[in-house]
Amino acid sequence: MHIPEPFIFNPLKHYLAFIKSYIETKAEEERYPGSAAFIKELKHLGTCVMDVYHGGLPTEKIFSEITGFLETRGCLQKEEYMKWAGRSWKSYRIILLSDGSQWTLKYHNHETRYVHIFPARSSRYTFRVKANTIMSAVLYLVLIGKDYISDDDLNKARALAGLSPVNEVTDAETITQMIEILRG
């Protein structure tokens, strides 16, 4: 996916349509136990929670709407953007896009990619998920792929990324729900 400057955006963390496409591509390329490069890509998801956009706006439209928003306020250039968004790690702005979804904009200290964007927490067309949950679901779908999901197969997939086995029923249910969302 092409991410235009000045944006920094991780579609594997924040854009459901991309995640589904990624799974389809990787399922054709990867075989159990998965390549080191594939596992490394997934580990970039981190260990925290993330917000995933599942609305209908294509990324190009998201980027153009945010660009337009910043242009009309005179803060698309780095210095103006930095003043508008704030420079501290706690500083951010939330804007509304045409579909009613909200997006968080933060300053990122980089010469050309200084507008860090991601879906806002609790926004329309957004759900929150733990990184390990989505990583487990992607590993399962790419490398195991069975229709019937067992705890053994989930744990087999999780072990590839160094994740501990699922012991709690609620954890297994959460991962299973994420697998179904990604299949749908």
Q: Give the span between the Cα atoms of 54 and 18, in whole angstroms.
A: 10
92-103 confidence digits (pLDDT tens)? 999 999 999 999
Residue with tokens 């991410």: 3
Q: Give the span between the Cα atoms of 93 and 16, in whole angstroms.
A: 22
Taking the model in full, what pTM does it have?
Answer: 0.93
26-49 confidence digits (pLDDT tens)? 999 999 888 999 999 999 898 899
Q: Are strands 126-130 and 49-53 parallel, antiparallel or unpaired?
A: antiparallel
Query: What is the domain partition of the chain in residue ranges?
Result: 10-54+127-183
Q: Give the span between the Cα atoms of 50 and 53, in whole angstroms.
A: 10
Residue with tokens 């790690």: 89
What is the predicted pLDDT for the residue at 98? 98
What is the predicted pLDDT for the residue at 160? 92
Q: State yes or no: pLDDT of 14 exceeds 90.
A: yes
Which backbone phi and psi does 140 adopt, to 5 degrees?
-60, -50
- Grade residue 83 by pLDDT with cuts at 50, 70 and 90: very high
